[in-house]
Amino acid sequence: MKNGQFLVTNVDHETLGQLTKWIIDGRPAKKEFTIVICSSGGSPTMVVNFASFAGTLGKEVKLTGVAFGECGSAALALLQCCHERIAVKHCGFFIHHVHSNFNTSPHKVSLQRLKEEIADVLRLEQEIVQMQCKRAGMSIAVWNRLAERGEMVEGRAMYPVDAHKLGLIDRIVDHYEIF
């Protein structure tokens, strides 16, 4: 972190809260921040919250995202919040539909409650899809095809060349010295 790089291995409330604080604490002296991502994903809600935070940063602030290892699901959505999106060669990317674990007790279950929870998950997915599609310049239909592919075969990765063609990353590098 002191070198200007923040490692994200899980996209959750704690990690993105620390990332936000790290950026705020670095301002106004610091204008460039590197978010290093190696994660299979996490919370899409937290990515939407981070995207909103990123919308409050001054135009002079630059977020660079560097993905290595794996960058899937909510982690790939987080990468889309960055001004520049870099992938280290051989990084694996994947997209799937938003999943939810319904928090319903058998004592409080009702058809109406389940319908509301499903509607909430669909609204969250719509938000995250629109955000990613706008940044990548891809259609929602293409995103849905990628998500369906991701649902069919767990662990099937898309590699940097294809991610670049789809607009999900800006460039591919053989080496990015971090550690």
Q: E strands within the chain?
A: 5-8, 32-39, 62-72, 84-88, 92-94, 171-173
**Residue 11's beta-bridge partner residues?**
42
Is residue 154 scored above 80 in pLDDT?
no
Of all residues in the chain, what percent are helix, strand and coil, respectively (each to 5)?
A: 40, 20, 35
Q: What is the pLDDT of residue 143?
A: 94
At 44, which helix (H) or strand (E)?
A: helix 44-54
At 25, the amino acid letter reads D
Closest CA to 85 of 67, 71, 72, 70: 67
Confidence of residue 101 (pLDDT cuts 50, 70, 90): confident
